[in-house]
């Protein structure tokens, strides 16, 4: 396995809270998959987890080297939550296609968040 790309992203938690207040359900549906939304349900610091996943999606796009081009949507990059708590990336739709074209077979992700900031680092392997 070779490292093909690396991306990081950092985001203010308050930015996500504002988006949810302004656009509510529409924002959540556009950005997060049903399984990501289910993960938020019982969380006390819900906006931190949302912000971390928002950062994860942007970090993955950087690792793929595409940016938000070629019709990639937010839900094409999904953060899966393993029983251990470890996050894992699944790519769908246009994001999966772009990854295949670049010879990327998997993307490692790591998340971190505090009250004001969330951060994600993604490494594309292939």
Catalytic machinery residues: 62, 113
Q: What are the CA-CA distances from residue 113 to residues 32, 51, 72, 97 (Å)?
A: 18, 8, 25, 30
Distance, CA of 37 to CA of 52 (rounded, Å): 13
Span from 20-28, 60-68, 81-89, 94-102 in contact with ligand COA (CB under 6 A): 81-89
Six token digits for residue 101: 């074209």
| Phi then psi dihedrals of residue 22, to 5 deg | -75, -45
Residue 112 interacts with ligand COA (CB under 6 A): yes or no: yes
Looking at 49, 91, 95, 122, which residue binds ligand COA (CB under 6 A)?
49
Residue 25 interacts with ligand COA (CB under 6 A): yes or no: no
Residue 31 interacts with ligand COA (CB under 6 A): yes or no: no
Chain residues that interact with ligand COA, rule: CB under 6 A = 49, 52, 81, 84-87, 111-113
């Amino acid at each position: 396995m070779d490292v093909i790309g690396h991306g990081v992203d950092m985001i203010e938690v308050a930015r996500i809270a504002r988006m949810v207040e302004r656009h509510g359900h529409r924002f959540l549906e556009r950005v997060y998959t049903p399984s990501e939304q289910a993960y938020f349900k019982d969380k006390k610091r819900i906006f931190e987890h949302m912000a971390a996943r928002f950062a994860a999606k942007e970090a993955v796009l950087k690792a793929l080297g595409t940016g938000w081009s070629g019709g990639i949507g937010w839900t094409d990059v999904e953060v899966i939550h393993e029983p251990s708590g470890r996050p894992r990336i699944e790519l769908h739709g246009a994001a999966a296609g772009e990854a295949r074209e670049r010879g990327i077979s998997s993307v490692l992700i790591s998340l971190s968040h505090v009250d004001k900031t969330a951060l994600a680092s993604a490494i594309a392997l292939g």
